[in-house]
Amino acid sequence: MTADLIFYLLAALTVIPAFWVVLSKNLVHAGFALLLTLLGAAGLYAWLGADFIAVTQLMVYIGGVLVLVLFVVMMTRVPKHDKPVRGLDRYVPAGVFALATLGLLYKVITGAGWDTTGLPPAEPTTAEIGANFMTNYLFPFEYVSLVLLAALIGAALLIRERRPEDEPELKEENDEEVAS
Amino acid sequence: MSVGLPHFLTVSAFLFSLGLFAVMHRRNAVGILMGVELMLNAANINFVAFSRYVQHGIDGQIMTAFVIVLAAAEAAVALAIVLAMYRNFGTPNADTIDSLKR
C-alpha cells in the first residue's frame, strides 16, 4: 500500500535524524539533522490530514526556531579549557533513563487498546481551526498573543548590551569601586 | 497490519526518549534546547494522532498550534538567555555556570 509506504518513509525521516541530533558532537550538524526531523514531523502531520498544522510547523519551526538555534550555535563557542574529556559517566545514566522511558511508553502503547474504529475521511482543517480560534478558543488565542508579546520584550531585554554610560547608577558604583 | 494509531505513538515515543537523552547528556545549553524541541514535537505528534484516530475532531490540532506558538516563544527567550550567559561567562555550557555555589 502506497500510504503505508509513505508513512514508513516519513517515520524514518523523523526518527533517524533524531539520533543524529542527540549523538552528534558537532552542534551545527545536530541543528541540520533537527531540520530533517522537523520536516519529517511536518510530513506526519500532513499524513494525518492536519494540513494547517503541517504548514505551521514548516513556517514556525523550520523557518523560525531552527534559524534562531543555528544562529546561536554559530555565535557561541565553547572555550578550550571547558572541554574536558568525558567518559561514560554522562551517557550511562541518561541512556538508562531514556531506555526506561521508552520501555514504559511501549508498554502503555501496546497495552491501552484505544478504540480507533470508524475513521472519517480527512478533510481540510484550516476553516474549522479558524472558526474555533474565534469561538471556543478565543481566550487562549488572545492570551497566547500576550505571551508572545511578553516573550518578545523579554528576549530583547535579555540580549541588550548593558554599557555603564547608559546607566548612571551603575556608572557611579563602578567609579566608587575604582576609587576604593 | 496497516498503519494506525500505535505506529504514530511509537514514532513519538522514540522522539521523546531521544529528546530526554539529549537533555540529560548534553552540556551545551543549545543542545539541551534541541532535546526540548524533540520532546515537544513528540507531544505534538501524539496530539494530532489522537485527534485523528480517537476523537475524530480538531481539538488536538488546535492544541498543537498553541504548543507550536509557545515553543517558539520558549526558544526565543531560551536562546536570549544562552547569549546573555555566553556574554557574562564566556561559555555556552550549562554545567559551567555555577556561581551560586560559591
Q: For A115-174, how does the pLDDT look when each residue is reduced to its tens digit (9 = 90+)?
A: 777 777 778 888 989 999 999 999 999 999 999 999 999 999 988 877 666 666 655 555
Taking contacts as CB-CB distances below 8 angstroms, the residues of chain A near B18 are 15, 18-19, 21-22, 98
Report the CATH number at residue A155. 1.20.120.1200
| Residue bearing the bigger pLDDT, A177 or A153 | A153
Helix (H) or strand (E) holding A176: helix A168-179
The answer to whether residue A105 sits within a structural domain is no
The answer to whether residue A26 sits within a structural domain is yes
The answer to whether residue A99 sits within a structural domain is no
* Whether B44 contacts B67, CB under 8 Å: yes
Cross-chain residue pair A106–B58, CB shorter than 8 Å? no
The answer to whether residue A108 sits within a structural domain is no
B22-54 exposure pattern, b = at least 16 Cβ within 10 A, e = fewer: bbbbbbbbbbbbbbbbbbbbbbbbbbbbbbbbe
Mean pLDDT score, B37-47: 94
pLDDT at site A175: 61
| Residues contacting B72, CB < 8 A, separation 6+ | A60, A61, A64, A65, A148
Mutate to test the interface with B, among A105, A138, A157 (most CBs of B within 10 A): A105
The pTM assigned to this predicted structure is 0.87
d(CA B100, CA B91) in angstroms, rounded, equals 16
The answer to whether residue A113 sits within a structural domain is no
Total domains in chain A come to: 1
* Whether B40 contacts B67, CB under 8 Å: yes
Mean pLDDT score, A16-33: 91
Lowest mean pLDDT across A164-173, B39-48, B78-87: A164-173
The answer to whether residue A115 sits within a structural domain is no
The answer to whether residue A98 sits within a structural domain is no
Residue A180 has pLDDT above 60, yes or no: no
Continuous H helices in A48-167: 51-56, 66-75, 91-112, 126-134, 138-158
Q: How high does pLDDT run on average in chain A?
A: 86
Cross-chain residue pair B45–A45, CB shorter than 8 Å? yes
Q: For residue A18, give the nearest of B43, B84, B35, B98 by alpha carbon.
A: B35
> How many other C-beta atoms can be found within 10 angstroms of the C-beta atom of residue A77?
12
The answer to whether residue A87 sits within a structural domain is no
Domain that holds residue A150: 2-77+123-179
